[in-house]
Structure 1
Amino acid sequence: MANEDDDGEKSRSLHQQIARKPKTQIVIGVPSYQEVLESSQTKSTPPSLFKPSQSFSQAFAFVKSSDVYSPPPPSSAAASSSQPSGASQVPHSSSQTHQTDGASSSSTPVATGSVPSNTTQNRNAILVSHRQKGNPLLKHIRNVKWVFSDIIPDYVLGQNSCALYLSLRYHLLHPDYLYFRIRELQKNFKLSVVLCHVDVEDTVKPLLEVTKTALLHDCTLLCAWSMTECARYLETIKVYENKPADLIQGQMDTDYLSRLNHSLTSIRHVNKSDVVTLGSTFGVELKRPYVQLL
């Protein structure tokens, strides 16, 4: 009991001491709008430690001092520009120098994939846009020559025919690509072919979208399931560029009996013997060789 009384007295004395202490007031000063505005204006932005280079060559100038760097070979443009400067020192009175210069310029070979200067070679070759660089389809074009050229379509197959290459997998990633590519053609070609490479399993919906886009813009849609088949389409269109359409048109005889036979046999249950019977009944004179053929 004595211990409990001592604890109670200690707690009372502790509470009395706490109550006697003066209470301190905490005042938070709120700055005015003008003070905030002035302080924000006086503060200057810290200097940035990032100092970008003014050009690409300055940013990567350290590569030239490394052991890995090797100077590039002189370009053909630099060689051609240096040739006239040396030729200007030669007097123009000698005609032999001009002949040798012309022979050397004509004997320079044309690089593979570049557009040759001769237009006849371009007519016999498929013109390929620079966008198609790296396309594995070009490796399968073997029966027809092809050269790179600055053209709007992907392939120019003739004077009035062109082709746009479209991968169905690429169409799923970029649905508007075909529309903008067709719009770039501006109907400058009579035959515009959309060569669609079917390289996905689910083909119903994407092929429907490609077909609608091709039909609305008067384009011919050709579907291929391999790179080899795509190349065969391009080669065939190029080979048959100047050939008439007689090979795919049906041949109709000009005489009356042949036309009568063709028209009547188109009716169901009417054969060639019935044509002879109907012709003789209604006064059509049938020649004997024609009757023997029937």
Structure 2
Amino acid sequence: MEIPSSIQSGTVLLNSRLIISRKRQEGNPVLKYIRNVPFEWADIKADFEAGKEMGILYLSLKWHKLHPNYIETRINNDGAGYVIKILLVLVNVEPRHILRELNLFCYRTGWTLMLCYSAEEAAEYLENLHISRNRNEQSAINAMQERKKNGFACQMKTANFIR
């Protein structure tokens, strides 16, 4: 069996790592919680890439409230070229009307809207998206929901045991 030259030379294949945009994500608190998948920095259009076909943009609602045209510009300029396009939104302000607008915008532009409520949860979504990168979009989302549900059930059992 022949070993691929990329492994022989000590470099890791691009698809095997979560790719993070060097320009936009340096200093993002989400990065300190990405522990379960390897990642590397690169100059990419999206904020994160989980495989060549999945582009993920990250948005804080607080940022969106201050700069409402930012994400529309990013989606229009940086979303091309990805088969699976995900907008991962950190909900950190009162969301009711803002989320409705984002949901409609994502629907019209063909993006999947995913909500998280902490930097840790955002990192967990990124890790799970990377792990599920070879599945289709719906099965990846289903797998993440199942892992999240199982994790919650384990936490509940532990909490009940501690009582």
1:132 counterpart = 2:29: no
Residue of structure 1 equivalent to 2:84: 191
1:181 counterpart = 2:77: no
Question: Structure 1 residue 162: deviation in Å?
Answer: 1.0
Q: CA separation in 1, counterparts of 2:50 and 2:141?
A: 20
Question: Structure 1 residue 179: deviation in Å?
Answer: 0.3
Question: Structure 1 residue 217: deviation in Å?
Answer: 0.8
Residue of structure 2 equivalent to 1:141: 34
1:209 counterpart = 2:97: no
Runs ≥4 residues deviating over 2 A: 243-249
Residue of structure 1 equivalent to 2:153: none
**Structure 1 pair 177–247 and aligned structure 2 pair: CA distance change class (3 A):** closer
Structure 2 matches for 1:18-33, cutoff 5 A?
A: none
Residue of structure 2 equivalent to 1:110: none
Q: CA separation in 1, counterparts of 2:15 and 2:132?
A: 13
Partner of 1:134: helix, strand, or coil? Answer: coil
**Structure 1 pair 232–206 and aligned structure 2 pair: CA distance change class (3 A):** same
**Structure 1 pair 248–222 and aligned structure 2 pair: CA distance change class (3 A):** closer
Q: How many residues align?
A: 132
Residue of structure 2 equivalent to 1:118: 11
Q: CA separation in 2, counterparts of 1:167 and 1:206?
A: 11
1:222 counterpart = 2:114: yes
Q: CA separation in 2, counterparts of 1:152 and 1:214?
A: 18
- Of the three residues 110, 113, 129, the one matched with 1:237 is 129
Query: Any stretches of 5+ residues in structure 1 without a counterpart?
Result: 1-105, 107-116, 250-294
Residue of structure 1 equivalent to 2:6: none
Instruction: Name the amino acid aligned to 1:224.
Output: C
Q: Greater CA deviation, 239-248 or 226-235?
A: 239-248
Q: CA separation in 1, counterparts of 2:132 and 2:19?
A: 16
Instruction: Name the amino acid aligned to 2:26.
Output: K
- Which structure is higher in RCO with an 8 Å CA cutoff and minimum separation 6? 2
Q: CA separation in 1, counterparts of 2:99 and 2:106?
A: 10
Query: Any stretches of 5+ residues in structure 2 without a counterpart?
Result: 1-8, 144-163
Question: Structure 1 residue 248: deviation in Å?
Answer: 5.0
**Structure 1 pair 166–129 and aligned structure 2 pair: CA distance change class (3 A):** same
**Structure 1 pair 203–160 and aligned structure 2 pair: CA distance change class (3 A):** same
Matched residues, percent identical?
33
